[in-house]
């Protein structure tokens, strides 16, 4: 597939102007909030006006914009009926509401990230909260991304640390993808997995420079985040970028929304959750084939009714949709379960090789801390009890086979 143009430069404005001229895009809507207008929007609007581009700013109200119905309507009212492509000047939320509004009105959008905080810039889905429920709505990828390095380096440090956490998550995401390919089903794309690993490792090597918001470090960070989005686009699924660590994070996020609590940055949660999943990989990596065999011999297929009860306990009003999502793991027969157990035993050396690719919890904690983040849930305002629930029940969020599903078969997870 042809990949969208991505420019990362200390000053991305000249490249943006050149792109607009080459595409003959001379009239645009520009979405921002007060913070991102100050950080980048005003300079872009001024530069584009000087280059003969007609820019209509749409400033979203409030200090913290929520990706909900109210914001979307506000944006559409600001845009009016005139058809214009959009420039999204902001981080995750502004990008997502602009992605959605531009898609619904049949316009393209161009992405100008203001913080290296998430890997969703190059995604096709808009992460929105509709009727209080967090969901990803299919919309469209941007026509191009222009990352202004000077702006990204000046982003709030917690947003930078969160972006790094979302790259740390690629350790367990890629490992889970390989595990599922070995033990459950495909599809898998080795070239895409490799691309993700290369960008991740380049960013990890810059952990200290990311923590100090040095251009070199921030460049490797935004590059890895954009690459993650492109890998998802190329593969056609989130497998390269988000697996069991993301499900733990999603579980917590839904709980926070439900309880009307202050949100925690996506990447701060996924980075912290990566350390949790790494503990399971560590146990799997240290387990002999004989021990795995003993544990598999004792493993009993989870009872469907009991499983649904567990889901009800953890997910409440969302039970029906979670049960539907989990169908492959609720409907399996004794024979299916035995086949899985046999496959785990037959492929134990390969399983251990995958586990060995995940750094130790201590090493991951060190990486997060060097980049200014944390592996401590309490530091993110999350309690022990809800963390235990997320660890045990997070895997029900999606129907993928992951380290957490394997850990249940092996009796490592309740
Ligand atoms: Zn993520």
Query: Does residue 215 belong to any structural domain of this protein?
Result: no
Boundary residue ending a domain (155, 170, 200):
155
Could you give the CA distance from residue 68 to residue 73 in angstroms, rounded to a whole number? 9
Same domain for 104 and 34:
yes
Same domain for 364 and 343:
yes
Domain count, the chain: 2
pLDDT at residue 163 in the model: 98
Q: Residue 8 in contact with residue 149, Cβ under 8 Å? A: yes
Least confident of 99-113, 247-261, 333-347: 247-261
pLDDT tens digits for 140-183? 999 999 999 999 999 999 999 999 999 999 999 999 999 999 99
Query: In angstroms, what is the span from residue 274 Cα to ligand 1's centroid?
Result: 11
Query: In angstroms, what is the span from residue 242 Cα to ligand 1's centroid?
Result: 6
Task: Report which of 284, 401, 261 is spatially closest to residue 348, judged by C-alpha positions.
Answer: 284
Could you give the CA distance from residue 164 to residue 221 in angstroms, rounded to a whole number? 7
Same domain for 379 and 243:
yes
pLDDT at residue 142 in the model: 96
Query: In angstroms, what is the span from residue 166 Cα to ligand 1's centroid?
Result: 5
pLDDT at residue 389 in the model: 96
pLDDT at residue 318 in the model: 87
Same domain for 357 and 263:
yes
Query: In angstroms, what is the span from residue 118 Cα to ligand 1's centroid?
Result: 6
Query: Does residue 397 belong to any structural domain of this protein?
Result: yes
Same domain for 168 and 130:
no
Query: In angstroms, what is the span from residue 241 Cα to ligand 1's centroid?
Result: 7
Query: Does residue 71 belong to any structural domain of this protein?
Result: yes
pLDDT tens digits for 281-336? 999 999 999 999 999 999 999 999 999 999 999 998 889 989 999 999 999 999 99
pLDDT tops 90 at residue 26: yes
Boundary residue ending a domain (155, 179, 199):
155
Query: In angstroms, what is the span from residue 229 Cα to ligand 1's centroid?
Result: 10
pLDDT tops 50 at residue 86: yes
Query: In angstroms, what is the span from residue 169 Cα to ligand 1's centroid?
Result: 7
pLDDT tens digits for 121-143? 998 889 888 876 777 899 999 99
Task: Report which of residues 237 and 208 the model is more confident about.
Answer: 208
Query: In angstroms, what is the span from residue 119 Cα to ligand 1's centroid?
Result: 6
Query: Does residue 139 belong to any structural domain of this protein?
Result: yes
Could you list the residue range(s) of the whole structural domain that residue 310 is in? Answer: 159-187+236-409
The CATH code of the domain that includes 180 is: 1.20.1090
The percentage of residues in the chain with a pLDDT greater than 90, rounded to a whole number, is: 87
Query: Does residue 201 belong to any structural domain of this protein?
Result: no
Same domain for 166 and 87:
no
pLDDT at residue 2 in the model: 54
Query: Does residue 12 belong to any structural domain of this protein?
Result: yes
Q: Residue 85 in contact with residue 107, Cβ under 8 Å? A: yes
pLDDT at residue 1 in the model: 42
Same domain for 100 and 170:
no
pLDDT at residue 263 in the model: 87
Neighbours of 82 (CB within 10 A): 9
pLDDT at residue 240 in the model: 95
pLDDT tens digits for 68-77? 999 999 999 9
pLDDT at residue 129 in the model: 83
Same domain for 177 and 151:
no
Element at 337 (helix H, strand E): helix 334-346
Please spell the DSSP secondary structure of 237-256, one letter per residue.
SSTTT-SHHHHHHHHHHHHH
Query: In angstroms, what is the span from residue 271 Cα to ligand 1's centroid?
Result: 9
Same domain for 243 and 164:
yes
Average model confidence (pLDDT) across the chain: 95
Give Cα separations from 325 to 177, 321, 397 (angstroms).
Answer: 18, 6, 7
Same domain for 183 and 109:
no
Same domain for 287 and 261:
yes
The CATH code of the domain that includes 97 is: 3.40.50.1970
CA angle 13, 137, 168 (to 5 degrees): 65
Query: Does residue 226 belong to any structural domain of this protein?
Result: no
Average pLDDT of the segment spanning 236-252: 94
pTM of the full structure: 0.94
Query: In angstroms, what is the span from residue 108 Cα to ligand 1's centroid?
Result: 24
Query: Does residue 1 belong to any structural domain of this protein?
Result: no
pLDDT at residue 185 in the model: 83
pLDDT at residue 64 in the model: 80
**In sequence order, what are the beta bridge partners of 31?**
58, 88
What sign does the dihedral 320-322-328-333 (CA atoms) show? negative
CA angle 380, 383, 386 (to 5 degrees): 115
Query: In angstroms, what is the span from residue 117 Cα to ligand 1's centroid?
Result: 9
Query: In angstroms, what is the span from residue 310 Cα to ligand 1's centroid?
Result: 26
């Amino acid at each position: 597939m042809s990949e969208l143009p991505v420019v990362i430069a200390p000053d991305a404005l000249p490249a943006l102007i050149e792109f607009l001229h080459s595409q003959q895009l001379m009239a645009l809507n520009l979405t921002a909030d007060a913070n991102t207008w100050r950080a980048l929007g005003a300079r872009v609007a001024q530069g584009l006006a000087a280059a003969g581009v007609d820019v209509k700013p749409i400033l979203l109200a409030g200090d913290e914009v929520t990706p909900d119905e109210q914001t979307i309507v506000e944006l559409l009212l600001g845009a009016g009926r005139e058809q214009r492509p959009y420039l999204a000047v902001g981080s995750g939320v502004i990008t997502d509401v602009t992605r959605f509004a531009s898609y619904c009105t049949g316009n393209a959008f161009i992405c100008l990230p203001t913080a290296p905080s998430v890997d969703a810039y190059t995604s096709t889905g808009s992460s929105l909260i509709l009727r209080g429920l967090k969901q990803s709505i299919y919309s469209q990828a941007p026509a191009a991304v222009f990352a202004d390095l000077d702006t990204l380096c000046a982003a709030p440090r917690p947003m930078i640390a969160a972006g790094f956490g979302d790259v740390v998550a690629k350790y367990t995401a890629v490992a889970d993808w390989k595990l599922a390919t070995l033990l459950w089903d495909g599809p898998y794309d080795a070239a895409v997995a490799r691309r993700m690993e290369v960008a991740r490792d380049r960013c990890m090597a810059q952990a200290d420079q990311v923590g100090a918001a040095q251009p070199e470090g921030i460049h490797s960070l935004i590059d890895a985040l954009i690459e993650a989005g492109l890998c998802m686009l190329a593969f056609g699924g989130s497998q390269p970028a988000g697996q069991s660590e993301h499900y733990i994070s999603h579980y917590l996020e839904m709980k926070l929304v439900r309880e009307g609590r202050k949100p925690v940055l996506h990447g701060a949660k996924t980075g912290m959750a990566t350390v949790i999943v790494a503990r399971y990989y560590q146990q799997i990596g240290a387990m002999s084939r004989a021990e795995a065999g003993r544990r598999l011999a004792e493993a009993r297929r989870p009872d469907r009714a009991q499983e649904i009860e567990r889901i009800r306990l953890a997910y409440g009003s969302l039970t029906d949709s979670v049960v539907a999502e989990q169908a492959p793991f609720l409907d399996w027969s004794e024979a299916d379960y035995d086949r899985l157990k046999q496959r785990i035993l037959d492929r134990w050396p390969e399983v251990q090789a995958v586990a060995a690719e995940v750094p130790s919890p201590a090493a991951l904690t060190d990486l997060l801390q060097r980049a200014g983040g944390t592996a401590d849930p309490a530091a993110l305002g999350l309690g022990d009890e809800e963390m235990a629930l997320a660890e045990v029940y997070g895997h029900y969020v999606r129907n993928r086979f992951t380290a957490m599903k394997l850990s249940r078969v092996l009796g490592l997870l309740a």
